[in-house]
Amino acid sequence: MTEIFSETGSRQLTQMFLAITFFHTSEYILARAIHGPSRVTLSSLLITKHYVLAMLVSLLEYLIEITLFPNLKQHRWISNFGLLMILLGEVLRKTAIVTAGRSFTHLIKIRHEEHHSLVTRGVYRIVRHPSYSGFLVWSVGTQVMLCNPVSVVAFAVVVWKFFADRIPYEEHYLKQFFGREYVEYAQRVHSGVPFVN
């Protein structure tokens, strides 16, 4: 149990806590700044029951492994690579949110609103769904940083599946809103989530 309070355990758990805190706080602050306080609820923190459960399971894996197999957590270069993934994912996602401005929402719009425009500039020139790419990289990065082999695979599969289902649903409405312009854009630019086009 003393391994949890070791330099490695303290560093990894502190980085995880800071990554989660920064991610959700900045999502909420950006949503309020872009859409105004009256149009933003606590759901903009993006904390769901499934998300909390996933994070608790990953924490449980971490605690079990650092107690029973402390050497598994000592791969500093793997942990640092995970931290780099967290930073890259965060930058990609926040760049996508700022670039899209009022066109970005946490919930899929099923009705076209006056301010809703098709954003194809900036990071959207490279991938159609950079916020999803960023979250995928960020979430898997949290588990790489913790050196959690089971959760790395589980997070990659679950988050990928979530976006593999969400992207076609969202794009159904984007095609309705923007017609041929969106179809041509989708043909030119990859979704940003592996194996989802």
How far, in Å, CA of 195 to CA of 10, rounded? 36
pLDDT at 7: 86
User: What residue spans define the domains of the chain?
Assistant: 3-188
Architecture of domain 3-188: Up-down Bundle (1.20)
The identity of residue 45, as a single letter, is L
Average pLDDT, the chain: 92
Burial 3-14 (b: 16+ CB within 10 A, else e): bbeeebbeebbe
Give the CA distances from residue 123 to residues 4, 5, 22, 39, 41, in Å, rounded to whole numbers and listed in that order: 39, 40, 21, 26, 27
pTM assigned to the model: 0.93
pLDDT-derived band at 45 (thresholds 50, 70, 90) equals low
Q: With beta carbons less than 8 A apart as the criterion, state whether 138 and 93 touch.
A: yes
DSSP 8-state code for residue 163: H
- Phi, psi dihedrals of residue 110, rounded to the nearest 5°: -110, 0
User: What would the pLDDT profile of 58-88 be if each residue is shown by its tens digit?
Assistant: 999 999 999 999 999 999 999 999 999 999 9
pLDDT at 1: 54
Of 134, 133, 132, 99, the residue nearest 117 (C-alpha): 99
